[in-house]
Every structure is written in structure tokens, then in C-alpha cells.
Amino acid sequence: MNTKNSFSRFLSKFYVYILLLLLYAPILVLIIFSFTPSRLIGNWSGFSLSLYGALFKDKEIMQAFANTFLVAVSSAVVSTVIGTFGAIGIFYSKKRTKAIMDAVGNIPVMNAEIVTALSLTILFVFAGIKFNFLTLLIGHVVLTIPFVVLSVRPKLMQMDPNIYEAALDLGATPSKALRKIVIPEIMPGVFSGFILSITLSLDDYIITAFTRNTAFQTLSTYVYGVTSKKGSLPPSLRALTTVITLIALIILIIVNINSSDKKEENKR
């Protein structure tokens, strides 16, 4: 009985870890071969950091890198501000307004990204708006804003409604009560919404491809461009993969620490 148990335990662990290994294999191979200058993955021609040198000297990639972060941060800021106030406003609205706003707000979540992208393109073409940074920004805000609202709402529901009322009774103006009472209470939700917006924006290809000015490259459009032209990935992109994986790891660790802090607070 005992040996049978430990065998199924072994099988369970084996299944999970082998799957993880398979899932990470493509990325791991790129990372390993980012430390050798050979043109293709698979031939190891000695340890070297030359690909990293080439990466940081490549103006096109560095520009795309900077652009990606510019779009991610600016769209996340806009989404977080409008979305947070939106969530608060909806929370205190009448039932019917609430239902309509929630249904409409959920459309970009449920909808295929390419339909959202095309619908925005048609809007801009119809209105005669030239594709520029603003159109791209709007595209990314549409993509990310529902997730801010979805992250903030549970915090509003958990909040004790009496503290806001108490603040008013003690003479605070509504805007002061909002700033001193409501906003601090929902801050963890606002933070999650912001991080979620950043990650969704960083990863996006479809909306970017449709709503950008074609001269404006993000990492996604750049990588798509070079892979469809040259076939296999240019070597310096292997070094880029290492850099991106490191950034992803750092974001995850920050988020994880933040959420375990929250749990500690909830226990108290």
C-alpha cells in the first residue's frame, strides 16, 4: 500500500515537472544559446557575451524596447486612473446603470482581440484620424481598462461602508473622505490592476499592429517583422529573451511579495 502510494506520488510530481520542462524548453534553449555567438541555436561555439553587446548596440531593438515600455506605462496609468474612478462611480450607481456599465465594460474581455483591434481601426478610419501614438494608446487602454475595474471592484465590496459615512459625519467633505478613506482602502486592487495592465500591454501584438503608426515599433511588432522576413530568430534576440525573462521574473517576485503581504494583513 505504502509503496503504491509513494509510486503515484512520484508519478504526479514527474508529470508536473516534465510538463514544466517542456513548457520552458524553447525559452531555456534561447537563454542557453544567448551565451554563444553562433548564428543558429544548436551549435555551441564557446562562451561569449558578444550577443549582449550586439543587443545593446542595436538601435532598432533598443528603440522598440523603449517604445514598448512607454506604451505599457502610459496606457497603464490612463487605465488605472479612469478605471479606478469608474469602478468607484459604478459601485455607487443605481442597479440598472451598474448592470449596463458592467456588461459594456466586459465586452473587450470576452471579445476576440482582433475584433476589438479592427473595430478601433474602423473608428479611426471613419473619423479620419491619422494613426499615431494617441490611437495606439487608446487601443491599449481599451485592452487593459476592464481589468483595472475588475481588480478594484472586489476591494470596494470588501470595504466597510460605514467608515465613509462616519468621515462625512465628522465633517469631511466628500472629496476628502474619498481621498483619505476610500482610496487607501482599495489601493491593493488599484495596484493589481496597474500591474495587470502593464503585463497585458507588454505582451500585446494584435491591437498594437492595428492601431499604431507603422513607423512605430514595439518589441512584438519588431520580432514579428524579423521572424516573418528572415525565418529563424536573429541571434541578438536570444540575448533579448534572457533580458525579458529576467524582467518577468522580477515583476512576478514583486507581485508575489506584495500579495503575500496582503495576506498577512488580512490575517490580522
Contact between 223 and another protein by CB under 8 A: the answer reads yes
Contact between 236 and another protein by CB under 8 A: the answer reads no
Q: What's the closest the beta carbon of residue 118 comes to another protein, in angstroms?
A: 5
Q: What's the closest the beta carbon of residue 46 comes to another protein, in angstroms?
A: 19
- Three-class SS of residue 36? coil
Contact between 196 and another protein by CB under 8 A: the answer reads yes
Site string for another protein, 74-113 (x = CB under 8 A): --------xx-xxxxxx-xx---x---x--xxxxxxxxxx
Q: In Å, what is the CA distance from 210 to each residue of 50, 126, 218, 225?
A: 35, 15, 12, 14
Of 49 and 85, nearer to another protein (C-beta) is: 85
Helices 59-91 and 236-267 pack at an angle, to 10 degrees, of 30
The residue from 6, 7, 13, 213 that contacts another protein (CB under 8 A) is 13
Question: DSSP states of 59-89 as a string?
Answer: HHHHHHHHHHHHHHHHHHHHHHHHHHHHHHH
Q: Are 163 and 181 in contact (CB under 8 A)?
A: yes
Of 43 and 47, nearer to another protein (C-beta) is: 43
Helices 95-110 and 59-91 pack at an angle, to 10 degrees, of 160
Contact between 129 and another protein by CB under 8 A: the answer reads no
Structure-block grid coordinates of residue 120: 478601433
Q: Which residue type, as a one-letter code, is found at position 61?
A: I
User: Distance between CA 130 and CA 249 in Å, rounded?
Assistant: 37
Tell me the window of 45-53, 55-63, 69-77, 135-143 that interacts with another protein (CB under 8 A).
Answer: 135-143
Tell me the window of 47-55, 69-77, 121-129 that interacts with another protein (CB under 8 A).
Answer: 121-129
Spatial neighbors of 41 by CB under 8 A, at least 6 apart, are 29, 30, 33, 232, 238
User: Distance between CA 256 and CA 195 in Å, rounded?
Assistant: 12
Contact between 35 and another protein by CB under 8 A: the answer reads no
Q: What's the closest the beta carbon of residue 89 comes to another protein, in angstroms?
A: 2
Tell me the window of 38-46, 51-59, 69-77 that interacts with another protein (CB under 8 A).
Answer: 38-46
Site string for another protein, 40-79 (x = CB under 8 A): xxx-------------------------------------
Q: What's the closest the beta carbon of residue 184 comes to another protein, in angstroms?
A: 16
Contact between 123 and another protein by CB under 8 A: the answer reads yes
